[in-house]
Amino acid sequence: MKGAQRGPILRTQEGQEAACLCNDEESCEASDSSYSYVQPDAAASNSSHAAGAVPQAQARWPGVPPPRDIDVTDSDDEDGAGAACPSDDGFSDIGQPGDTEVVYVREAVAVWPTRSERIVGRLSLIRQHRVLFLSWLPYAPGALAPDGVFTPTPADTPPVSPARDRTAYAIHPLPLSEVRALRRHTPALGGQHVVLVLASGLTLPPLTFSSGGVKVFFAALKQHVLLARSAGEPDTYLVNDTADPLQRSLTSLELSDVLIGAPPPGASATFAPPAGLMWGGEGEAGSRGWQLADLLGDSVARVRSFARETTSSLLAASALLPPQETCGAGSAALRNGHAEAAELPTTTAPAGPGELGAFELVAPAAAPGGGDGPRGAPPPPPLSLEEWGSFLTSEGRVRGERALRQRVHESGVEPAARREVWKFLLGFYPMDSSATERAALLASKRAEYGRLKEQWRSISKAQAARFSKWRDRRSRVDRDVRRTDRAQPYFAGEGNRNVRTLRSVLLTYSLYNFDLSYCQGMSDLAAPLLFVMRDEAEAFWCFAALMDRLEANFHTDCTGMQAQLAGLAALVRLLDPQLTAFLARREATTFYFCYRWLLIHFKREFAFDEVLRLWEALWAAALTPHLHIYMAAAVLVTHRRAIMAADLDFDGLLRFCIERAGHMDLAHIMRTAAQLCRLAGRAGEDALAASGLPP
């Protein structure tokens, strides 16, 4: 990220020594277990800001923890390395959007919930995909290390605001397209503050600048968005005011007057409360005014929605609108946002030339990497370390789990925060655990991993000669790790220590889950976890947590995969009967051509950095725990014309799906999957449940 970099900067050092990777335990040389971590340089750990200073209690970024070794000190020839991969490589930018830029940062901007209570945070303007986002995040009640680990504030530190206040008032990255107006207020006493009025009519709490800086903030805004001063209210600025005719009509009806009072003359927001009712830190009257605006926000939004629906119905017969028969029921439901109320077609006539089918016409195109909302709104920047801290209480517990999962689903996680956030998404860390509890859990699990690893490291040559199952498992692991992600620099090259570490993780798991053992495909799942965690023990336990979810995929009776394939068939039958009829004619309704997609969650279909983004969205489970099945349906629906035009049989479909690897747009597929999920609604959930999948 340009501007304000976060997190550790990892560098590659030439001439790094590496242990060899071999199959024969007699030829492996023993080496000591070690964990290395590169400290962030001063430029990265102390980001420059536009103005202001972080309070002393909040500015502490503890150094990277000392190397954490697993207590395995024997020199067994099986695998003496036992080390987590060194972090001195060049992958800190994997998955990070190349065109994301922090264009403005202001420290110590405050919100006043009451006259005597202040919440201090950081105000930022972030540009991504040529879209400007505004964010105000309260300082975390503790310290965040560059890898996202949270340390509570010491007991002798002055207390900060309760978590409920901090979480409630945080402004997570908000596109300026959703802001209708900004109102600047300069009181005789106290700091200047800025009030945001959203297009929905909701007025956000004032952002107070303690020592000036409002002019610089507005100057930064004017460089990226159009600000127009209101004719009748010189301190009110309209954001990107395009004089929407519908908006003018609503204003002319004076609906705002009925609800809360007339807006300032010339204002184009749905309503802007008069100065006497504006929320502020000056007293109780201001607080009541903001609360009233908050309560009426939904009512005004409903009025706007009703007005838009009425306008659409009046224009339905107009030539300005496309004929209704060109849009399937599913497309209309997606466009109007009424997913569960849509009547899904049960029979469909064969498509003729130019026909779109039920689900080829979807929501309007979004910006690059756009979100999956009904209007295709651009997604906010990925979850950053600072924003991650805003979800933590003073004890380090996650508050607002649903909002966190939605943020991860929409935009993903910055590389610097993944190491910590992934542990929560995978369930290794409970969401309600405190920082102290997590530290104890990690220490316990680290010691347990050492004991587990010792079990196979202590197998002697004579014992291995009489242990055929162990030799078979070891051989399968050695065969797979040689070819897992070796094109990635993190695993590339002969004698790569990271490959040895991956081998250790998989061999340990084969004994930890002895009944399941090791199966082909597990190395594909473990490698990204090791890349993100940079720690052997942490990677192992995250892999074990992931396998708790995916273990059924690798059962010898194939019941888990059969249930997923049956669920995919049920979804396609529900969403696209025409495609289902075609597959039935070609005797391909088993959907085994999608087997690899579902087995390892599209690991080989997308680039490595895209897989990281995809997996964290799957684990967030914001829409459904079976998003990967909707993604498979989305790929088939997206290419339905090509499939049917080529009259592909089962073998042709298998080749077609394999050839999709590296040629699919992840953002588009995720948006389509989310739209299909909303469209299917309860019927989709029931179809998956009937296939034997857990809710």
**Cα three-residue angle 571-575-580, rounded to 5 degrees:** 80
Buried residues in 484-494 as b, exposed as e (16+ CB within 10 A)? bbeebebbeee
CA distance 305 to 635: 32
pLDDT at site 145: 74
Collapsing DSSP to helix, strand or coil, 602 comes out as coil
Say if CB 596 and CB 631 are below 8 A apart: no
- Compute φ and ψ for 348, nearest 5 degrees: -140, 135
SS3 at position 544: helix
CA distances from 151 to 60, 141, 155, 236 (A): 10, 9, 12, 41
Q: Is 682 exposed, middle or buried (0-12, 13-18, 19+ CB in 10 A)?
A: exposed
Structure tokens at 676: 């299909």
Q: Which residues contact 237 (CB under 8 A, 6 or more apart)?
A: 181, 182, 183, 184, 218, 227, 228, 229, 230
SS3 (DSSP) at 643: helix
CA distance 539 to 532: 8
pLDDT score of 225 = 86
Radius of gyration, alpha carbons of the chain: 28
Q: What is the C-alpha separation between 461 and 78, in angstroms, rounded?
A: 9
Q: Given the DSSP bridges, would you call strands 192-198 and 171-175 parallel, antiparallel or unpaired?
A: unpaired
Name the token pair of 291: 């609360």
**What is the spatial distance between Cα 122 and Cα 263, in angstroms, rounded to a whole number?**
30
Nearest alpha-carbon partner for 663 in 582, 602, 579: 602
- The 3-state DSSP class for residue 91 equals coil
Q: How many CB atoms are located within 10 Å of the residue 246 CB?
A: 11
CA dihedral sign, ordered 359, 362, 367, 370: negative
d(CA 474, CA 689): 37
* Residue from 463, 548, 462, 475 nearest 512 by CA: 548
Secondary structure letter of residue 485 according to DSSP: S
**642, 659 Cβ separation under 8 angstroms:** no
Nearest to 593 by CA among 658, 644, 689, 501: 658
Residues of the chain with pLDDT under 50: 1-77, 79-98, 163, 243-304, 306-371, 373-375
Among residues 571, 554, 683, the alpha carbon closest in space to that of 634 is found at 571
Residues 112 and 206: their CA atoms lie apart, in Å, by 8
What is residue 254's predicted lDDT score, i.e. its pLDDT?
39
pLDDT at residue 301 in the model: 47
Residue 465 to residue 26: CA distance in whole angstroms? 12
Q: Map residue 269 onto helix, strand or coil.
A: coil
User: Rounded distance, CA 593 to CA 422, Å?
Assistant: 30
pTM for the model stands at: 0.65
- Nearest C-alpha neighbor of 505 from the set 535, 476, 483, 475: 535
Residues 187-220: tens digit of each pLDDT: 877 778 899 998 888 888 899 987 778 888 988 8
